[in-house]
Amino acid sequence: MGIGKGKQKDVKDTTVRETINARENESLQESTDYRTELLNILKSVSPSGFERICQRLLRESGFEQVKVTGRSGDGGIDGHGILQVNPFVSFNILFQCKRYEGTVSASQIRDFRGAMMGRADKGLIITTGSFTMDAKIEARRDGVPPIEIIDREKLLDMFELLELGLKPIKTYEVDYSFFEEFK
């Protein structure tokens, strides 16, 4: 009789753990699905809408006087702002917004740098895509103004950090030790 109960208990414990594992997997799936959904929304807005979203993101991140230029033929410069590091140090920043599916190349980094030369201390390129390895190297090349690059993962991370367009959800984890004394 005692052996049968032990097996039954093991089966119940296994079933409970499988149920909890399934729920954790669902929760993990849900947590990654909102990132996919957010990325799809960012890719689906109009080009000017994406520029305005980036403007808001920069403002929420501490940039001041952020303006979207909205002009064509400006060498790909979509806007500018000031990043005040402390009372003594600030940087004039030009930014470019790329609502891309694919990758940003090194030549696009060079083109943007050329457009910003003499007009800003730093550049910033924000994309819903990614950057080639050569683009990453070009962005940090010595002897030229640096360009900060924000790819899709960093962009989504920033939306999470600032809770911009996202609502946080509280969740719970089961504390198995609590139930031990009731077995």
User: The domain that contains 21 carries what CATH number?
Assistant: 3.40.1350.10
Q: Are 95 and 58 a contacting pair, CB within 8 Å? A: yes
pLDDT confidence bin for 172, thresholds 50/70/90? confident
Give residue-wise pLDDT tens across range 96-145: 999 988 999 999 999 999 998 888 889 999 999 999 999 999 999 998 88
Give the pLDDT confidence score for residue 163 in this predicted structure.
Answer: 92
Does residue 180 surpass a pLDDT of 80?
yes
Give the pLDDT confidence score for residue 15 in this predicted structure.
Answer: 61
Cβ contacts of residue 39 below 8 Å, gap of 6+? 128, 152, 156
Give the pLDDT confidence score for residue 10 in this predicted structure.
Answer: 53
Give residue-wise pLDDT tens across range 21-49: 665 555 555 556 889 999 999 999 999 99
**Domain residue limits at 66:** 1-183
Give the pLDDT confidence score for residue 98 in this predicted structure.
Answer: 92
User: Can you give the pTM of this predicted structure?
Assistant: 0.75
If you average pLDDT over every residue of the chain, what do you get?
85
Separation of alpha carbons 112 and 101, rounded Å: 19
Nearest to 150 by CA among 83, 57, 33: 57
SS3 percent helix, strand, coil of the chain, rounded to 5, is: 50, 20, 30
